[in-house]
Amino acid sequence: MTSGNPPIAGDTRLFAIIGDPIAQAKSPALFNRLFTELGANAVLVPLQVPAAQLSVAIAGLKALANLDGIVVTVPHKVAILEHLDLLGDHAQAVGAANCMRRLPDGRWQGEMYDGAGFVAGLQAQGIQCADQRVFLTGCGGAGKAVAHALAGAGIAAIQLVDSDPQRQHELAQQLRAIHPPLQVSEGGPANTDHDLAINCTPCGMAEGDPLPFPIYALRPDAIVADLIMKPERTPLLLAAEARGHRIHLGRHLLENQAALVTRFFGLQSSHLATVTTPIPGENT
């Protein structure tokens, strides 16, 4: 393990995280620590990119010959697909991407690790997914990824809620088609049927946000999870903790998906490798 951060120099490879807002992003510190541990001459920086400027920003970033990859966060995970040349398996299934890499031939490939990171985070905390009954609110890019990953991990049922009924229904239909044994329902509040209740919306990031869903009907042993990283303990998690629920923090997703994204970027031990070798299961 390398101690300290290597100096940024002319041959340092660049990575970025784009989003709006971006001040809440914890990725730079985490990824840069991973880069240091790998001995990689690389750095990741946060860039605030408003939705209206996404096309201009991506064109500019692609033009930087020493920029090898981009982490994509809210609100760009779906819109970024228009700027990619090909998608990995997870991104294809979800219809969204949370990272993109430059391939040796100059094309850009996108992939989605929010779902895999969330499930890995649960497992790292000793929470098993098999046969669980899940309530999930927020069917955008991150919510889709989490729903697909949970379905793949063997949950028994999922109840989907979104402010956009069409988006909610499209995800429900997709899950029914890909995972026939899974019980999928739409709408309604979290209730005593649920073992795990998850917020996949941005509600809770801004001061004064209401709770993304009421928790009063949940069983005392139900787990409440939030994907939001900052604040670490959102109003939802604080309310759940006050009622005695076990809570699951957003940082567990980030910490467990970072290794997957780092590998996707082509970073190997002690050097920055090429990205010609795909991760098993990816389309290239």
* Distance (Å, whole) CA 152 – CA 125: 19
Query: 157 near 189, Cβ under 8 Å?
Result: no
Query: 27 near 44, Cβ under 8 Å?
Result: yes
- Token pair recorded at residue 182: 């899974």
Helix (H) or strand (E) holding 105, with range, is: none
Q: Residue 83, SS3? A: helix
- Cα–Cα distance list, 183 to 75, 118, 154, 180 (Å): 29, 20, 11, 8
Query: 68 near 35, Cβ under 8 Å?
Result: no
The secondary structure of 24-74 as a DSSP string is: T--HHHHHHHHHHHHT-SEEEEEEE--GGGHHHHHHHHHT-TTEEEEEE-T
Query: Which of 131, 169, 129 lies closest to 146, judged by CA?
Result: 129
Q: Which of 26, 77, 144, 230 is catalytic?
A: 77
- Token pair recorded at residue 154: 């063997």
Task: Please confirm, yes or no, whether 77 is among the known catalytic residues.
Answer: yes
Q: 177: buried, middle or exposed (CB in 10 Å: 19+, 13-18, 0-12)?
A: exposed
Query: Which of 30, 46, 48 lies closest to 38, judged by CA?
Result: 30
Q: Which residues are catalytic?
A: 77
